[in-house]
Amino acid sequence: MITRQIPQQRQPLGFFPTPLVSLNNLSKRLHGPRMLMKRDDQTGLASGGNKTRKLEFLFGEALAMGCDTVITGGAAQSNHCRQTVAAAASCGLQCHLVLGGEPARTAPKGNLLLNDLLGAHIHWTGKYRKGEKIPEIVLNLKEQGCRPYVIPYGGSNATGALGFVDAVAELTEQIKSMSISIDTIVFASSSGGTQAGLMVGRHMVGADFELIGIAIDKGETGEKSFAEHIAAIANDTADLLELETSFSPADIQLYEDYVGKGYGVVGKLEKKAIRIVAETEGILLDPVYTGRAMGGLLDLIDQGKFSPKDTVLFWHTGGLPALFSYAKDLQ
């Protein structure tokens, strides 16, 4: 098991392993490859999601450092933020969320409602939705005597990426027990940590499956391209694990053609994907991440990228609560 090679402390937060299921009805409907789904929407932490994997290692580090408060940032309907405040509640820590946008004039919906129920302290920061205002809030918290631990946007740094290094080990055991092989894994790629962790995990188990990230957001990683950003996290993770390997942007397969009108803007691509998966498999995708990523996968199938003999795994990263705040957009 890879887990035994990961020295960092880990705080149990989710239900693992998550299910690996066949999408037989969807495969038949599409006349495409054999399709599987890794159900990280079933991790269990306040309705689940893939960020729970990252948070187990991030909270393990925070607790080991003696921190009493965590702080992170994201969009108003951030799944990462909702899972972070749930993790903080389970660990007995305070949680401050730095959210883009303005306070709602009506009753909170979706993840905002759950954040409130879970006891989050919310700081609204207008156009800044990636934690840009966190440093000044950290200073204020320290002045108040708090010991804050900063969790990066999406939980995406080397420590957080360990969650997906371990996820590859989990998946490897599952496919071995099911006597199947996987040709390609497709997933939503936004803050970079999931893709970086999968790359390092694939290297550690010696697998050769293809990793395809569907970009969810327009590139906003400063001077670096998104691929350079992912490679940097992967290299930091490899260094943390003392691996003698390195990654470059050329190692990263990333489709950036499906961002549409931008982050969180639902279009025909997302609506089609959400509806077809719901109708064929009884599985709900979210409008921001998995809806867009599945939409990209459906388009790649239409283009003939995969043969009927291929086995393609879609990694469901969660996000159900956000679905309810997009009701009008999904009609």
pLDDT tens digits, residue range 23-54?
999 999 999 899 999 999 999 999 999 999 99
Q: Above 60 in pLDDT, residue 5?
A: no
Report pLDDT for 220. 59
Point out the catalytic residue in the list 47, 78, 156, 190.
78
**In whole numbers, what is the pLDDT of the chain averaged over residues?**
94
Strands, sheet with 311-316, edge to edge from the N-terminal-most edge strand: 20-22, 34-39, 311-316, 184-189, 210-215, 254-255
Burial class (CB in 10 A: 0-12, 13-18, 19+), 16: middle
Report pLDDT for 139. 94
Q: Which of 104-108, 144-148, 216-220 has the lowest mean pLDDT?
A: 216-220
Q: Which residues 6+ apart lie within 8 Å of 179 measured at CB?
A: none
Report pLDDT for 104. 79
Report pLDDT for 126. 75
Taking only the tens place, the pLDDT of each residue in 237-253 is: 999 999 999 999 999 99
Report pLDDT for 132. 79
Strands 94-99 and 20-22: unpaired
* Neighbouring C-beta atoms of residue 186, cutoff 10 Å: 24
Told to judge if 90 belongs to the known catalytic residues of this protein, a careful annotator would answer no
- pLDDT category at 331 given cuts 50, 70, 90 is confident
Taking only the tens place, the pLDDT of each residue in 75-93 is: 999 999 999 999 999 999 9
- pLDDT category at 2 given cuts 50, 70, 90 is very low
Report pLDDT for 224. 85
Q: DSSP characters for 176-194?
A: HHTT---SEEEEEESSSHH
Q: Above 80 in pLDDT, residue 166?
A: yes
Backbone phi, psi, residue 130, to 5°: -120, 30
Cα–Cα distance measured from residue 199 to residue 295, given in angstroms and rounded to the nearest whole number: 23
Q: Above 50 in pLDDT, residue 4?
A: no
Report pLDDT for 222. 63
Residue 323 near residue 287, CB atoms below 8 Å = yes
Cα–Cα distance measured from residue 99 to residue 251, given in angstroms and rounded to the nearest whole number: 33
Query: What domains can be seen in the chain, in order of their start residue?
Result: 2-49+156-330 (3.40.50.1100), 51-155 (3.40.50.1100)
pTM for this model (two decimals): 0.95
Task: For the chain, give the percent of residues with pLDDT over 70.
Answer: 96
Strands 254-255 and 210-215: parallel
Q: Above 80 in pLDDT, residue 129?
A: no
Cα–Cα distance measured from residue 315 to residue 293, given in angstroms and rounded to the nearest whole number: 9
Q: Which of 6-15, 121-130, 163-172, 197-206 has the lowest mean pLDDT?
A: 121-130
98 strand-pairing partners: 73, 123
- pLDDT category at 3 given cuts 50, 70, 90 is very low
Burial class (CB in 10 A: 0-12, 13-18, 19+), 157: buried
Q: Above 90 in pLDDT, residue 127?
A: no
Report pLDDT for 106. 82
Taking only the tens place, the pLDDT of each residue in 259-290 is: 999 999 999 999 999 999 999 999 999 999 99
